[in-house]
Structure 1
Amino acid sequence: MSQWTDLFLSLPLPASWLHGLLFVTFGLHLLFVLLMLGTALLGLLFFLQKRLAGDAGPQLWNKRMVHTHLGLKSLAVVLGVAPLLIIQVRYSQAFFTTTALFSYAWLAVIPLLIVAFLLIDAFGHKISASPWLAFVCGVLGVGALLTVPAIFTGVLSLMERQDFWARFAARGFAPDGVFAPHWLLRYLHILGAALVFGAAFHLFFSAREHPEKAAKLRTWLFGATLAQVVIGIPLVFSVASGLDWPVLGAVTVGVAAAMLMLLSLRPAAAPLAAGPGSLLVLLPVIFVSMLLARQFLQDRVLAPAHAQAVAAREARSKAYAPFRKEALAAFAAKLNTVYDNGETIYVGACQPCHGKAGHGDGPTAARLVVPAEDLAAIRANRDYIYGILTAGTPGSAMPYFRLFDREKLEKLLDTLSTRFSMFDATPKPAHHPVGSEAMQVWNKTCSVCHGADGGITPFGRTLLPAPPDLRRYALTPERALGVITDGYPGTVMQPYRVLPAATLQDLATISNTFRTAH
């Protein structure tokens, strides 16, 4: 309808700029996420390895390695804000849809991170002082931390499979089909990358003062890199439909760099072959190439979907354009409306059935089995109508309005009085004596429900809807004659059009003689 329609679909920068920013910011975030995950995993694994080996000595090196987790997690969290905001802007429809589908898991990310960080910090502090407490904190903390990338990879995987959204919404996660295996492979690939970069990071830093640990880290680095290659093969096949030359080129470069790294890290290689020089070249190549492949695949799917959403927005805007002025005027009127007055309550709660003029011809009246009453034809006691408002009319579509307090209902009654003169005296028909035939019909037929005095009989109270209490409720002569002649659809009030016109007129007069109070 205007430039503000579907605001989330508007891009603050050209798409190419957003792609570049997303690549850089997400790359920095992912790097520190991998270092953080790798540090937590290796710290726990080395701690367990030392304990299982029966070595009860101090774990100074493990403790020092785990303590680096504090700085890494801070950078990972801070650097994660930018890519999260950018992806919300660039791919808003896919992002908000999939995070809604993952709603409970997505909301669990924050408490999981809090628990994981606190427990891993406790693990680092207790690693020497209390091994069993350190074990419990480490296992629970790393377990909570590993749940977070499972949620993120699930969201990102679902974002790229829009044809799966409806099925996921209906069934939730199911281990069948293509989505679940791809999700699992992607998650395992993240864990393998965390071990690769975590081992490499600590090979450069933590092992400087403990060169005897370098061999262990090289072994983990070799094994994790080999696992990445093995996991990467079926992962590529799981996205075969999205492969093109840019993706294949990036994957090829990354695989070649990984193979070179495996060659330099093989057990038979000289120790210097895996020195900082080769790793500092090969690891960035692997990281950048795989990140490029991932973004190429993501953009190939999500960019057309975003463009389609924008086109749909523009088409909808054109379709709504003729109604813009009227809609804005109605909205402005709503803003200026006081919502506790009788007029507003009538428009919102009564008018849909009873109509603007009260004749029972509102926009929803045609769907009612028991027709809405003509309010302009009612002459009743105020307290009687108040009782109908608070109790409704069982057996009809007339609901109770106990959600409004007494003051608001009194204002509504004022509106009914002003609009329809509902509480005026009962109109008196032209004076003439009521015939004996009409009195016989009333006493033998009408009084079965209405009572001889106009009150509701015990039988009448069993009816749904029950007849009105004519001692406190009447209709204008014209409306009363119409109801007696044609009946009231949906109720037991049958038509009496077979009676003579004079008798019908007399019955209408009788029905209006019982009301005693105004």
Structure 2
Amino acid sequence: MINSLLISLQTNIPTPVPKDLPLPLPLPEWLLIIILVISFLAHLVFVNLMLGGTLLTLWSQIKGLKDKKYDLLAKEIASTITVNKSIAVVLGVAPLLSINVLYTVYFYSANALTGLAWIAVIPLVTIAFLLTYLHKYTWKVFENNKAVHISILALATVILLFIPFIFLTNINLMMFPEKWAVVKGFFNAMMLPNVFPRYFHFLFASLAVTGLFLFWYMSRKNYEFENLLPGFTRYDIQRKGYSLALIASICQMLIGPIVLLTLPTKGMGWNLILVIFTGVAMALPAMWMMWKGLQASRENIGKNFYKVVILMSITVVFMGSGRQIYRANALEPHQKLVKLRTEEFQKIKKEAFVKSRRAQAAENSADLSLADKGKKVFNQNCAACHKPKEMLVGPPVTEMAAIYKDKKTDLINWIKKPGKKRPNAPQMPGFPKISDEDMSTLTEYILTINN
């Protein structure tokens, strides 16, 4: 019945259905999901800061070729990139392990289908990080050669812009097993409808988060603003930070519907719609507060800053939860198929194991019966003159076994028609009446008595 169900389902839906690994989860599933969502969002915030900071540093340094104060701004933003990068890497361990445990078959299948691109993540990340360090610590070295200095950061920026494509393509592909049979490599998978909308949504999120971060970072009382950024006022930077965050958030709002429309409907549900629109409802007042802050006086621009951050943080949590809900909705039918296939495989494996054990038991029983039969023939015809290991009338059986080792035919001939070998022992009588079957079991018993 299970086989029939699997065949019918797979006939209607040409989807690869692998077997799962029937291993228990190390923690309750709901707890692993919470860890996945929270740790991923924490990791994502610092990835946003790293990428957004890199883009703003590049923009500021290019603009600094004509206006020196922007070069100083680029230097200050660059000093935050490597720190945020390190935190992003550390925070990336928990979500990576969680998604591996929760979605092993799906995550590793997507990794295998994207092949070299997925493997290339580590060397690409390493090169990009080293370039950001090189850029950060060679500011004075290339003071008079800005083209080279900017080129170092530009190369790091290109790599850092490409790496999210790999992750987004994999995360996207793992949700759609029906595409596994038709996808041909990373670039083919990258062309799936939802990848580019999600990518641009991610880019604008990076700029929005970085805008709010710079507003806070350069508004701190212990930040030596006048010494580090002559030519700017705190108000200038605050306006730039708010403006960037607001514009990027508006762009996210415009791209959001495209992200939803390019997602296959199989993962949609009222639970997802409710969570997404709740997140949007939290973002709208935050955007309004940023707009009002840009219209306010110097003293009041940051009046609602922490309210904005809290509301935007709640939005991020809802959006991250929405991703998990869609993933769960999309994979649920396939997971049921995998469960059925796994149960069927376990059933077949169990039956094969039982069959093997029975066959082995039957073989052992046959061997035991053969040995008992040989011993019975021995006791009837030979035991009066031969002991297994001691001299009686004739030599011990162990001696016979040693003499006729690998010479079963010779031993049979001797038993049927023996001669006299030992002057101090009587001649052994012949046993021509022992049947061929009994003779075979008897000689087998004699030759194996040492074993």
Partners of 2:39 and 2:91 within 8 A in 1: yes
Normalised to the residue count of structure 2, the TM-score between the two structures is 0.66
Say which of 115, 126, 132 aligns to 1:103. 115
Q: Residue in 1 aligned with 2:312?
A: 283
Say which of 23, 30, 34 aligns to 2:44. 30
Q: CA deviation at 1:6?
A: 5.1
Could you tell me how far apart the structure 2 residues matched to 1:41 and 1:158 are? 27
Could you tell me how far apart the structure 2 residues matched to 1:185 and 1:292 are? 18
Say which of 38, 42, 62 aligns to 2:56. 42
1:338-381 per-position Cα deviation (integer Å, ceiling 9, x unaligned):
xxxxxxxxxxxxxxxxxxxxxxxxxxxxxxxxxxxxxxxxxxxx
Could you tell me how far apart the structure 1 residues matched to 2:177 and 2:247 are? 35
Q: CA deviation at 1:63?
A: 1.4
Query: Relative to 1, partners in 2 of residues 1:102 and 1:50: Cα closer, same or farther, differing over 3 Å?
Result: same
Say which of 289, 308, 326 aligns to 1:297. 326
Matches within 5 A, 1:152-301: 152-169=167-184, 173-174=187-188, 180-208=192-220, 209=223, 210=225, 211=234, 212-239=236-263, 241=265, 242-266=267-291, 269-270=295-296, 272=300, 275-301=304-330
Could you tell me how far apart the structure 2 residues matched to 1:95 and 1:103 are? 12
Secondary structure of the 2:338 match is helix
1:362-406 per-position Cα deviation (integer Å, ceiling 9, x unaligned):
xxxxxxxxxxxxxxxxxxxxxxxxxxxxxxxxxxxxxxxxxxxxx
Q: Residue in 1 aligned with 2:157?
A: 142
| 1:24 partner amino acid | I
Could you tell me how far apart the structure 2 residues matched to 1:65 and 1:149 are? 21
Asked if residue 94 in structure 1 is aligned to residue 119 in structure 2, the reply is no
Secondary structure of the 2:218 match is coil
Q: CA deviation at 1:139?
A: 0.4
Say which of 54, 62, 77 aligns to 1:65. 77
1:218-260 per-position Cα deviation (integer Å, ceiling 9, x unaligned):
2211211111111112111112612222211221122223322
Partners of 1:124 and 1:134 within 8 A in 2: no
Could you tell me how far apart the structure 1 residues matched to 2:70 and 2:269 are? 53
| 2:258 partner amino acid | P
Partners of 2:131 and 2:156 within 8 A in 1: yes
| 2:338 partner amino acid | A
Could you tell me how far apart the structure 2 residues matched to 1:214 and 1:33 are? 22
Normalised to the residue count of structure 1, the TM-score between the two structures is 0.58
1:67-120 per-position Cα deviation (integer Å, ceiling 9, x unaligned):
111221111111111111111111111111100001110001001101111111
| 2:284 partner amino acid | M
The gaps in structure 1 that reach 5 residues or longer are 331-417, 419-518
Q: CA deviation at 1:151?
A: 0.4
Could you tell me how far apart the structure 2 residues matched to 1:9 and 1:104 are? 29
Asked if residue 11 in structure 1 is aligned to residue 40 in structure 2, the reply is no
CA RMSD of aligned residues (A): 2.7
Partners of 2:63 and 2:71 within 8 A in 1: no
Number of aligned residues: 323
The gaps in structure 2 that reach 5 residues or longer are 1-18, 226-233, 360-405, 407-451
Partners of 2:289 and 2:308 within 8 A in 1: no
Q: CA deviation at 1:9?
A: 5.4
Could you tell me how far apart the structure 1 residues matched to 2:22 and 2:96 are? 14
Runs of 4 or more, structure 1, over 4 Å off, are 325-330
Query: Relative to 1, partners in 2 of residues 1:310 and 1:60: Cα closer, same or farther, differing over 3 Å?
Result: same
Query: Relative to 1, partners in 2 of residues 1:309 and 1:224: Cα closer, same or farther, differing over 3 Å?
Result: same
Q: CA deviation at 1:304?
A: 4.1
Query: Relative to 1, partners in 2 of residues 1:206 and 1:316: Cα closer, same or farther, differing over 3 Å?
Result: same
Partners of 1:9 and 1:93 within 8 A in 2: no
Could you tell me how far apart the structure 1 residues matched to 2:343 and 2:77 are? 55
Could you tell me how far apart the structure 2 residues matched to 1:98 and 1:24 are? 23
Q: CA deviation at 1:8?
A: 6.5
Could you tell me how far apart the structure 1 residues matched to 2:64 and 2:140 are? 12
Asked if residue 77 in structure 1 is aligned to residue 75 in structure 2, the reply is no
Secondary structure of the 1:168 match is coil
Could you tell me how far apart the structure 2 residues matched to 1:207 and 1:44 are? 22
Could you tell me how far apart the structure 1 residues matched to 2:57 and 2:38 are? 29
Secondary structure of the 1:266 match is helix
| 77-86 or 209-218, which deviates more | 209-218
Partners of 2:61 and 2:70 within 8 A in 1: no
1:450-494 per-position Cα deviation (integer Å, ceiling 9, x unaligned):
xxxxxxxxxxxxxxxxxxxxxxxxxxxxxxxxxxxxxxxxxxxxx
Q: CA deviation at 1:184?
A: 0.3
| 1:19 partner amino acid | I
Could you tell me how far apart the structure 1 residues matched to 2:94 and 2:268 are? 28
Query: Relative to 1, partners in 2 of residues 1:220 and 1:58: Cα closer, same or farther, differing over 3 Å?
Result: closer
Could you tell me how far apart the structure 2 residues matched to 1:237 and 1:158 are? 17
Partners of 1:222 and 1:265 within 8 A in 2: yes
1:307-365 per-position Cα deviation (integer Å, ceiling 9, x unaligned):
432331121111122222576999xxxxxxxxxxxxxxxxxxxxxxxxxxxxxxxxxxx
Matches within 5 A, 1:355-366: none
Could you tell me how far apart the structure 2 residues matched to 1:329 and 1:108 are? 50
